[in-house]
Amino acid sequence: MFENLGWPEILALLLIALFVLGPERLPKILADIGRVLRKVRNMASSATADLNKDLGTNLDITDLNPKTFIRKHVLSEEDEEALKRPLQAAFEDLKRDTDGVRDTLRDTASGISARDSGTAAKSASAVSADDKTPVTDPPRGRTAKYDLDAT
């Protein structure tokens, strides 16, 4: 629960509690917190002991994860491998299909970028009829800036 708390953080919390609660009430509150934590630990250990007694095995808290529990108590290694084989074959098929789609998208994207670079070269070489200055399109995502008073 408090895995990320180091000594500096604990010291800072105690100083804040000292300023907020005052030196008279802080020892009583810390004692109450200690009692509650002790009761919670005792409840957790007694629940684990009850589960061990009822199941007839030594149960670790990580065994309560359903996937781990089934692996440890229900399936053998051969059963687990037999369940994995069809899923691995489906995964390989899916990977092959997505690789084909990825290659198609990559080819399409390179074709679009080649076409856009050709269009940009044509628009950059276009010349205005009035003043013989090159006309260029604004970059994507930007709008051309015009002087509203001049138009």
In this structure, the answer to whether residues 57 and 97 fall within a common structural domain is no
Domain-embedded: residue 8: yes
Q: Is the pLDDT of residue 146 over 50?
A: yes
Residues 56, 3 share a domain: yes
When divided into structural domains, the chain yields a total of: 2
d(CA 6, CA 11): 9
Least confident of 44-58, 95-109, 114-128: 114-128
Q: Measuring CA to CA, which residue among 133, 110, 134, 114 is closest to residue 123?
A: 134
84 and 27 in a common domain: no
Q: The tokens of 94 are what?
A: 């899916």
Structural domain for 101, as ranges? 75-111
List the one residue out of 81, 73, 80, 43 whose CA is nearest residue 56: 73
Has residue 130 been placed in a domain? no
- Interhelix angle for 7-21 vs 26-55, to 10°? 130
Residues 1 and 49 reside in one and the same domain: yes
Q: How far apart are CA 84 and CA 86, in angstroms?
A: 6
Instruction: Assess if residue 141 is contained within a domain.
Output: no
Q: Does a structural domain hold residue 23?
A: yes
Confirm whether 96 is domain-assigned: yes
Is residue 136 domain-resident? Answer: no
The reply to whether 47 and 7 lie within a common domain is yes
Question: Which residue has tokens 């070269």?
Answer: 121
57 and 79, same domain (yes or no): no
DSSP lists the bridge partners of residue 134 as 127
pLDDT digits (tens, 9 = 90+) for 24-68: 898 898 899 999 999 999 998 898 888 778 877 776 767 677 777
Min mean pLDDT across 15-19, 20-24, 48-52 is at 48-52
